[in-house]
Chain A
Amino acid sequence: MRVLVVEDDRETALFLQRSLKENGHVAEIAGDGELGLALAREGGWDVLIVDRMLPRLDGLTVIETLRREGARAPVLILSALGDVDDRVKGLRAGGDDYLTKPYAYTELLARIEALARRPVPEEQVTRYTVGDLTLDRLSHKVTRAGQPIVLQPREYRLLEYLMRNAGQVVTRTMLLQNVWDYHFDPQTNVIDVHISRLRAKIDKGFARPLLHTVRGSGYMIRDGAD
Chain B
Amino acid sequence: MTALTRLLGSTPFRLTVAYMGAFVAAAALIVLYVAWQANELLASKAVEALRAEVASLRGQFEAGGTPRLVAAINERVSEPGSGLYLLIGADGTRLAGNLPRLPAALPADGQGHLFSYPRATNGTGASERLATGFSLSVAGGLTLVVARDIEDQRQLAAGIGRLALLSFGLLCALGVGAGILISRSMVSRIETVTETSRQIMAGDLSRRIPLSGSGDELDRLAEGLNAMLARIEELLAALREVSDNIAHDLKTPLNRLRNRAEAALRSSDAAAHREGLAKTIEEADELIKTFNSLLLIARLEAGAAAESMKPVDLADVIGDIAELYEPVAEEVGIRLTVATEPGLCTVANRELVSQAVANLVDNAIKYSAATGVPVAVGAAPAPPLNPAPEIRIVLKRAGDSIEIAIADHGPGIAAEDRERALQRFVRLEKSRSRPGAGLGLSLVAAVARMHGGSVRLEDNAPGLRAVLSIPVQMPSGFPLPKRAKQAEG
Measured CB to CB, the residues of A under 8 A from B are: 82-85, 87-88, 91, 102, 104, 154, 177-178, 180-188, 190, 193-194, 197
Contacts and interface: CB of A to CB of B under 8 A. Distances in A.
B365 interface: yes
A180 B366 CA distance: 22
B278 to A, nearest CB: 8
Interface in B456-489: 485-489
A160 B290 CA distance: 33
Contact of A85 (B281, B307, B436): B307
B222 interface: no
Contacts of B16: none
A84 B354 contact: no
Contact of B292 (A87, A177, A178, A185): A185
A186 B328 CA distance: 12
Contacts of A177: 489
Given A178-B489, A186-B362, A187-B440, A85 B308 contact: yes
B308 A88 contact: yes
B355 A184 contact: yes
Contacts of A104: 281, 285
Contacts of B440: 187
Given A182-B354, A183-B351, A84 B487 contact: yes
A83 B324 contact: no
Contacts of A180: 320, 324
Given A184-B354, A184-B358, A187-B362, A87 B489 contact: no
Contacts of B487: 84, 87-88, 181, 183
B304 interface: yes
B486 to A, nearest CB: 8
Contacts of A85: 304-305, 307-308, 485
30 contacts: A82-B292, A83-B305, A83-B308, A84-B351, A85-B305, A85-B307, A85-B485, A88-B487, A91-B488, A102-B284, A102-B288, A154-B323, A178-B489, A181-B487, A182-B324, A182-B354, A183-B487, A184-B351, A184-B355, A184-B358, A185-B289, A185-B292, A186-B362, A187-B362, A187-B366, A188-B325, A188-B365, A190-B324, A190-B325, A194-B324
B327 interface: yes
Interface of B: 281, 284-285, 288-289, 292, 299, 304-305, 307-308, 320, 323-325, 327-328, 331, 349, 351, 354-355, 358-359, 362, 365-366, 436, 440, 485-489
A104 B282 CA distance: 11
Contact of B359 (A83, A181, A187, A194): A187
Nearest to B437: A187
Contacts of B349: 84
Given A84-B349, A87-B487, A182-B354, 5 more contacts: A83-B304, A181-B487, A182-B355, A185-B289, A188-B362
A153 to B, nearest CB: 9
Contacts of B365: 188
B292 A197 contact: no
Nearest to A187: B362
Contacts of A91: 488
Contacts of A183: 351, 487
Nearest to A83: B305
A180 B358 CA distance: 13
A193 B354 contact: no
Q: Closest 5 CB pairs between A and B?
A: A184-B355, A193-B327, A178-B489, A187-B362, A91-B488
B351 A88 contact: no
Interface centre among A102, A182, A197 (most CB of B within 10 A): A182
A88 to B, nearest CB: 6
Contacts of A197: 327
A154 B485 CA distance: 24
Contacts of A83: 299, 304-305, 308
Contacts of B307: 85
Contacts of B351: 84, 182-184
A85 B325 CA distance: 26
Contact of B366 (A82, A188, A190): A188
Nearest to A178: B489
B93 to A, nearest CB: 117
A88 B349 CA distance: 13
B280 to A, nearest CB: 13
Nearest to B323: A154
A30 B351 CA distance: 34
